[in-house]
Amino acid sequence: MCAQSAHTVPTPGNVAQEDAVLSTMQDVPLLISRILTHGSSIHGTSQVITWTGEGAPQRRSYAEIGSRAAQLAHALREDLGVSGDERVATLMWNNAEHVEAYYAIPSMGAVLHTLNLRLPAEQLTWIVNHAADRVVIVNGSLIPLIAPLLPHLKTVEHIVVSGPGDRSPLADTHVQVHEYEELLAGQPVAYDWPELDERSAAAMCYTSGTTGDPKGVVYSHRSIYLHSMQVNMTQSMGLTDQDTSLVVVPQFHVNAWGMPHATFMTGVNMLMPDRFLQPAPLAEMIEGERPTHAAAVPTIWQGLLAELTARPRDVSSLTQVTIGGSACPPSLMEAFDKLGMRVCHAWGMTETSPLGTIARPPAHVVGTDEEFAYRLTQGRFPAGVEARLTGPGGERLPWDGESAGELEVRGPWIAGAYYNGPDAEPLRPADKFSEDGWLKTGDVGTISPDGFLTLTDRAKDVIKSGGEWISSVELENALMAHPDVAEAAVVAVPDDKWGERPLATVVLKEGAAADFATLRAFLQEERKIAKWQLPERWTVVEAVPKTSVGKFDKKVLRRQYAEGALDVTQI
Amino acid sequence: MCAQSAHTVPTPGNVAQEDAVLSTMQDVPLLISRILTHGSSIHGTSQVITWTGEGAPQRRSYAEIGSRAAQLAHALREDLGVSGDERVATLMWNNAEHVEAYYAIPSMGAVLHTLNLRLPAEQLTWIVNHAADRVVIVNGSLIPLIAPLLPHLKTVEHIVVSGPGDRSPLADTHVQVHEYEELLAGQPVAYDWPELDERSAAAMCYTSGTTGDPKGVVYSHRSIYLHSMQVNMTQSMGLTDQDTSLVVVPQFHVNAWGMPHATFMTGVNMLMPDRFLQPAPLAEMIEGERPTHAAAVPTIWQGLLAELTARPRDVSSLTQVTIGGSACPPSLMEAFDKLGMRVCHAWGMTETSPLGTIARPPAHVVGTDEEFAYRLTQGRFPAGVEARLTGPGGERLPWDGESAGELEVRGPWIAGAYYNGPDAEPLRPADKFSEDGWLKTGDVGTISPDGFLTLTDRAKDVIKSGGEWISSVELENALMAHPDVAEAAVVAVPDDKWGERPLATVVLKEGAAADFATLRAFLQEERKIAKWQLPERWTVVEAVPKTSVGKFDKKVLRRQYAEGALDVTQI
């Protein structure tokens, strides 16, 4: 495999030359197996520590993970007959066995498919069938979740169970059931990992889109390897073997933000919460195992903050916190700063592996009053992620910190398609991918001249009025600043003249009366909203409809408007 | 170029599958132009600061470097007709214009060939002709060096002169002479960089081997991009835009250890000494520009230390020092530690881009007495560099910290061949590359179980005795510990029974008499050298012959022995 590269390339003005220069570098593919081999040898004493809820946590060295990943690969290949690029799914919490699956499955040439255990049963079933998973590795505690689905999973032949949990719901299935530890026992602790094409599929993860079928993103060995290097750069997470990272973000959620791969490159220890994601056990494991870093979504941190306020613990080890998934409220960032936990904001999505931006303030603001404002942005694009903003007419917008457009990104760890459509070809929906192959993120925001991204809206929530965009989020925040308003949602509704116009949906505080003219004047005079952006259509509702994760469900409002179910006043 | 990847790969046990999984990631090549575009936009305000020797240093922002690199590319293509992968050489100090050449030449698809200005005229001539350089960009101060060569340079058509220096020696040449600034003036400040194959040639650098012709290593865009990411990982150099790096290691020496590329990924400022490499101006620029990091070979640091001892300056900004090129003496490391400059040892060679190891002590020794010993090793292999040790019989040796063998390495930024031999095919000499494509480094040492490399010898200086190796360096150090010995060199000489045996060549201190039996006993009893390793052949010399850079010239000693020119005693 280490044959010298013999690529040449046509370039503008290229002419055939007898003395053409070939690179003399080794052609070594970027493979997950190389990350595993590095971590389990050079960093063999680093540890995956898995919380068990009672008694001592389970400790497993990277050397042991390496041996056990080899055993798992032997079992999958020889006992379960997994070959080629067949899909092996996991329905698991964050734990050492899940890390073993992360390495064994892609390294042997198969494809790791992480299943999101929060999805409704119908979506899980659809996803497993669409990916054609042949084996599912499942934690014992999740048997109640998968057992009822088994009759509907068309391609699954084997279930491998790991960890505690009642096995009896699996008694009557046609699928073969195996015990994880029994499969591994006696297998060789080394595996001659194949030399794969680095662009071949390594892992897949479906997005749970709110509309349409879920869509599969298929990561390559190359994309994961490059993303892991990026995560380890000092201006990204940049951890070392002196760190222990509490990986709260689930392994079924965009590869746990790349942590299980990045850590094996540098020997960072991983503290895995398994199913103990409640604030109290999280506080307990921070106090007990003294991680230096943690990664999770804001909701987790809100809960932990409340827990620490109610029952203070020694969490002084935890000095770095990476927050992503949704925007971190400034109050939360300030509260964590006070606890000595430095929050670093990051942005990404399933399609971006996920690291797309990270908010390390630029050198010239460090230590100044401006620093906090930079930390509240989504962050700066790292080398490897190219970005552009596209306006409502498809025009490119400048990086001036003011022009808002849809963010489009390009790079070697960014998706250019989704997994198989009905014709078994990659899916490239026009609202997701530009003609020249960039990912349309669906996020709307601005980029400063020094490359910091500030997101303001989802593209689908922006109001496209007469060729210009109106930010629904900006109008909502302005409305909610009025003392009579408890909550406000602004959505786009069709307009004959302007294409779309904003509809202001207001929840009044108890005792307040609906005075839309006053609210409109407030927006214009107090909040300095431009006249052409002011809503003409107003309505009062009892509550803004919300999604299961508590976000405004604007689909519902738009449908209610279309059906005439809202009492709308024009002013 | 962003079409989704459609690679599949045969793997052991692979079977044709209708539902084969393709990665859905974008296929974006890793190109130097992407590093340039990132650095000159996201980090546009970072600076290259070039020392001028008098008055203020020259300051140029990364945004300006980006614009000027585009102008240089236009000039090279349109005015000088550089096309395809033609070679453009540089004979330059470390300065902003050299950084512009670093980016313009590979980004346009041509090949940057950095010429080592320390080489003898004949070698420089041979190298320029071998690479078939068509253009040479030269600093004005180096005109006296290149002017006499011009009649012998067969392929050079254009000389581009940058910076101060008398142009008159170029008056009578047949080669076209251009002024760098005149070429750039008026050119467009943007260039539509071509999408190249990332494995195509980007830059080349010849090793000045002590035997045979120089050998060219040709770096690809991919190898440079990956190496740069590695340099930016926290456990490597890991600098950020809060740092300024004093890049003393020359840009003609293995791409200045990758600094000009790594910095543009993260916005690290570069302080460039140009031709002012003497201890006094180096101390002055450290005091004046307050770099946080510096990279150079030990000789530079020895000189700087003497300067700072004689004339103390405020060098408190400089807290990180990367030392490579040859081993850092412990005394030097201790002296720099006392000055608050933390030395980090690294090992590499032209063939390894160069980062092969870096001595960041493992977490468990940080803050303990063991830490210093780890810092004195050559360091640990980063992810991306695979290593193995090969014994005298070709056998693989364990990583036990004791078994010494020749170091062989593999990885995407490691050479697998040299540039064109006589038949215009890549050269793969058997003493440099193993049959399976690994680089034989020619360095002999041990690897600890946690992956730390300790080099003891050059392979050509090891004594191969009866199928075992004897370290010449170990014997020399042991001999030099004796109070009568001023200097000692040990070389291999032919032996009928054992193949090779050590010859001990000793320089006695003034007034000491040659008592070989005593020295031999000292080695065995005081220094615990194994009996079979003790030299039988001894000689006294006035001085150990040295190379131009002050290393023992063991070739000369071996030749003197072979010619019978040494007075050898057998004991």
Per-residue pLDDT of B410-457, as tens digits, reads 999 999 999 987 778 899 999 999 999 999 999 999 999 999 999 988
Give CATH for domain A29-46+59-220: 3.40.50.12780
Contact between B19 and A132 using a beta-carbon 8 Å cutoff = yes
> pLDDT grade, residue B3 (50/70/90)?
very low
Contact yes or no for B437 and A7 at CB 8 A: no
Contact A363 B1 (CB under 8 A): no
Q: Of A4, A18, A24, A263, which to mutate for an interface test with B (greatest number of B Cβ within 10 Å)?
A: A24
What value does the CA radius of gyration of chain A take, rounded to a whole number of Å? 26
Please, what is the average pLDDT of chain B? 92
Say what the pLDDT of residue A392 is. 85
Q: Does B417 touch chain A (CB under 8 A)?
A: yes
Tell me if B410 and A2 make a contact (CB, 8 A cut-off).
yes
Q: How confident is the model at residue A549 (pLDDT cuts 50, 70, 90)?
A: low
Mean pLDDT on A499-519: 92
In this prediction, residue A193 carries a pLDDT of 98
Which tens digits make up the pLDDT trace of A85-111? 899 999 999 999 999 999 999 999 999
- Percentage, residues of chain A above pLDDT 70: 95
Which of B11, B84, B418 faces A194 most closely, judged by CB atoms?
B11
Distance from CA of A217 to the nearest CA of B (A): 6
| Residue B161 Cα, gap to closest chain A Cα (Å) | 25
* A25–B219 CB contact, under 8 Å: yes
B386-459: CATH number: 2.30.38.10
Indicate whether A47 pLDDT > 60. Answer: yes
Distance CA B386, CA B4 (A): 30
Q: Is the pLDDT of residue A306 over 50?
A: yes
Q: A224-240 pLDDT, tens per residue?
A: 999 999 999 999 999 99
Which one of B173, B456, B460, B464 is the catalytic residue? B464
CATH assignment, A462-570: 3.30.300.30
* pLDDT confidence bin for A16, thresholds 50/70/90: very low
Residue A4 pLDDT = 34
Q: Is the pLDDT of residue A30 over 60?
A: yes
In chain A, residues with a C-beta closer than 8 Å to the C-beta of B42 are 380-381, 383, 450-451
3-class DSSP state of A308: helix
Which residue did the predictor score with more confidence, A474 or A563?
A563
- Which residues on chain A are in Cβ contact (under 8 Å) with B228? 383
A462-570 shares the fold of A29-46+59-220: no
Contacts of residue B267, Cβ cutoff 8 Å, sequence gap at least 6:
A362, A363, B39, B42, B43, B46, B62, B240, B241
Query: Mean pLDDT across chain A, nearest whole number?
Result: 92
Cα(B68)–Cα(A462) distance, integer angstroms? 40
β-pairing verdict for B499-508 and B485-495: antiparallel
Residue window 8-47, chain B: list those with CB within 8 Å of chain A.
Answer: 8-9, 11-15, 17-28, 30, 34-35, 37-39, 41-45
pLDDT at site A2:
31
- pLDDT number for residue A351: 97
- Our answer to whether residue A351 is catalytic in this structure is yes
| Residue A420 in contact with partner chain B when CB distance is under 8 A | yes
- The answer to whether the CB of A4 falls within 8 A of the CB of A25 is yes
> Smallest Cα–Cα separation from B388: which of A149, A405, A41, A469?
A41
Predicted local distance difference test score (pLDDT) of residue A149? 97
The Cα B492–Cα B472 span in angstroms is 8
Of the residues A351, A408, A476, A500, only one is catalytic, namely A351
Task: For residue A501, give how far its alpha carbon lies from the nearest alpha carbon of chain B (Å).
Answer: 35
Could A27 and B232 be called an inter-chain contact, meaning their C-beta atoms sit closer than 8 Å? Answer: no
Summarize pLDDT for B330-389 with one digit per residue, the tens. Answer: 888 999 999 999 999 999 999 999 999 999 999 999 999 999 999 999 999 999 999 999
What is the model's pLDDT at position B415? 98
In this structure, what are the phi and psi dihedrals at residue B195, rounded to the nearest 5 degrees?
Answer: -80, 105
* B313: contact with A, CB 8 A cutoff: no
Tell the burial category of A122 from Cβ atoms under 10 Å away from its Cβ (0-12, 13-18, 19+): exposed
pLDDT digits 0-9 by tens, B281-332: 999 999 999 999 999 988 888 899 999 999 999 999 999 999 988 788 888 8
Facing residue for B2 by CB, picked from A223, A234, A436: A436
Q: What is the pLDDT of residue B10?
A: 34
pLDDT tens per residue across span B69-123:
999 999 999 999 999 889 999 999 999 999 999 999 999 999 999 999 999 899 9
B516-567, pLDDT tens digit by residue? 999 999 999 998 999 999 999 999 999 988 876 677 888 899 999 999 999 9
Query: Which whole number is the average pLDDT over A354-377?
Result: 96
Q: Compute the nearest-CA separation of B222 from chain A (Å).
A: 9
Backbone angles phi, psi at B489, to 5 degrees: -125, 135
Q: Which of B22, B25, B220, B410 to mutate to test the interface with A (most CBs of A within 10 A)?
A: B25
Q: pTM for the whole thing? A: 0.91
CB B91 within 8 A of CB B162: no
**In this predicted structure, what is the pLDDT of residue A546?**
82
Q: How many CB pairs under 8 A join A and B?
A: 334
Non-local CB neighbours of B262 within 8 Å, separated by 6+ positions = B228, B231, B232, B237, B239, B268
Chain B residues close to A437, C-beta within 8 Å: 1-4, 26
Whether the per-residue pLDDT at A83 is higher than 70: the answer is yes
The predicted structure's pLDDT at residue A164: 96
Write out chain A residues lying below 8 Å of B13, CB-based.
77, 83-84, 109
Q: Which residue of B has its CA nearest to A215?
A: B24
Answer yes or no: do A111 and B366 touch at CB < 8 A: no
pLDDT digits (tens, 9 = 90+) for A152-208: 999 999 999 999 999 999 998 999 999 999 999 999 999 999 999 999 999 999 997
For residue A179, what are the β-bridge partners?
A: A161
Residue B16 has pLDDT above 50, yes or no: no
Domain boundaries, chain B: 29-234, 386-459, 462-570
CA–CA separation, B210 vs B204, rounded Å? Answer: 19
Contact B21 A201 (CB under 8 A): yes
CA dist., res. A25 & res. A10, Å (int): 19
Q: Is the pLDDT higher at B9 or at B571? A: B571
What is the DSSP pairing of strand A452-458 with strand A463-465? unpaired
In sequence order, the β-bridge partners of residue A547 are none
Within a 13 Å sphere around the CA of A447, how many CA atoms are in the beta-carbon half? 24
Q: How far is A23 from chain B (nearest CA, A)?
A: 5
Whether B498 sits among the annotated catalytic residues: the reply is no
Please report the pLDDT score of residue B210 as a whole number: 58
Contact status of A360 with chain B (Cβ, < 8 Å): yes
Q: Is A331 on the interface with B (CB under 8 A)?
A: no
**Could A15 and B83 be called an inter-chain contact, meaning their C-beta atoms sit closer than 8 Å?**
yes
* Digit-coded pLDDT (tens) for B385-409: 999 999 988 999 999 999 999 999 9
- CA separation for the pair A364, B44 (Å, rounded): 13
Q: Is the pLDDT of residue B140 over 60?
A: yes
**A172 vs chain B: nearest CA distance in angstroms?**
29
Cβ-based contacts of A419 with chain B (< 8 Å): 21-22, 24
Per-residue model confidence as pLDDT tens digits over A250-301: 999 999 999 999 999 999 999 999 999 999 999 999 999 999 999 998 888 8
Cα dist. B57→A63, B43, B284 in Å?
51, 20, 12
Catalytic residue among B307, B351, B406, B408: B351
Check pLDDT > 70 for residue B264: yes
Question: Does the distance separating the beta carbons of B240 and A4 come in below 8 Å?
Answer: no
Residues 266..285 of B with a Cβ closer than 8 Å to A: which?
266-267
B422 part of contact set with chain A, CB < 8 Å: no
Q: Does B165 touch chain A if contact means CB atoms closer than 8 Å? A: no
Q: pLDDT value at position B409?
A: 98
Determine whether the interchain pair A383/B229 forms a contact, defined as Cβ–Cβ distance below 8 Å. yes
Per-position DSSP letters for B130-157, written without gaps between them: HHTEEEEEEEGGGHHHHGGGGGG-SS--
Domain A386-458: which topology? Luciferase; domain 3 (2.30.38)
Check CB contact of B205 with chain A, cutoff 8 Å: no
For residue B549, the model assigns a pLDDT of 62
Reported as a single tens digit per residue, the pLDDT across B206-252 is 997 656 789 999 999 999 999 999 999 999 999 999 999 999 999 99
What value does the mean pLDDT take over residues A397-415? 96
Q: In whole angstroms, what is the distance from residue B377 CA to residue B319 CA?
A: 20
In terms of C-beta density within 10 A (0-12 exposed, 13-18 middle, 19 or more buried), how is residue B246 classed? buried
Which pLDDT belongs to residue A548? 65
B464 is catalytic: yes
pLDDT at site B392: 85
Pairing of strands A269-272, A244-247: parallel
Average of per-residue pLDDT across B10-31: 68
Which of A:216-235 have CB within 8 Å of B? 216-220, 222-223, 226, 228-230, 232-235
What CATH homologous superfamily does B29-234 map to? ANL, N-terminal domain (3.40.50.12780)
Question: Under an 8 A CB cutoff, do B229 and A230 touch?
Answer: yes
- How far CA A370 is from CA of A361, A365, A401, B46, B278, in Å, comes to 9, 6, 15, 18, 40
Report whether A243 contacts A218 (CB < 8 A): no
Tell me whether residue A469 is one of the annotated catalytic residues. Answer: yes
